[in-house]
Amino acid sequence: MPDAPKSDRPDRVVVPLRVRYVECDPMRIAHHSAYPVWMEIGRTELLRAQGANYRDCEENGVYFAVARLNIRYKKPARYDDELELLVIGHPCAGVKVEHTYELRRGGELLMTAQTTIVCITADGRAVPVPPGLLP
């Protein structure tokens, strides 16, 4: 199991990742579809570092939907690479939370990304971000 995420600030976390074989194409390069999954792991760990978790939010009727996803692939990640994903949460008003991401292998920048997450109810209505979830 990877080390716990590192965070010295409540608005960011660094999550260690390792590229698994199942996430790769036949050339052993991480497939583009793995990156949004890694970003989800990062958001989950950021929420956990802030003292909250998705399970409690969902039990209270608040769900998270990705409304915008923008990824800039710079260099490939390869099978068994040890990576670090920096996730930064940006406070927003209303129903959304924005995040930025940097994926690195050592000091080498592999990817940058941004997401906008919207808080919704089980029936899909937008609701305000619950208190305490914003960095």
Q: Name the H helices within 50-122.
A: 54-59
Q: What is the pLDDT of residue 52?
A: 85
pLDDT in tens, 22-78: 999 999 999 999 999 999 999 999 999 988 888 988 999 999 999 999 999 999 999
pLDDT in tens, 72-123: 999 999 999 999 999 999 978 899 999 999 999 999 999 999 999 999 999 9
- Say how many residues make up the chain: 135
The residue annotated as part of the active site, out of 8, 11, 25, 56, is 25
pTM higher than 0.85, yes or no?
A: yes
Q: Is the pLDDT of residue 12 over 50?
A: yes
12-120 maps to CATH 3.10.129.10: yes
Q: Is the pLDDT of residue 2 over 50?
A: no
List, in sequence order, every residue forming a beta bridge with 84; answer none if it has no partner.
16, 104
Task: Give the residue from 76, 57, 74 showing the smallest Cα distance to 120.
Answer: 57
**What's 5's DSSP letter?**
P
Segment (H or E) for 105: strand 96-105
Asked about 25 being catalytic, the answer comes back as yes
For residue 19, report the phi and psi dihedrals to the nearest 5 degrees.
-70, 120
Q: Is the pLDDT of residue 135 over 60?
A: no
**Could you tell me the residue ranges of all domains in the chain?**
12-120
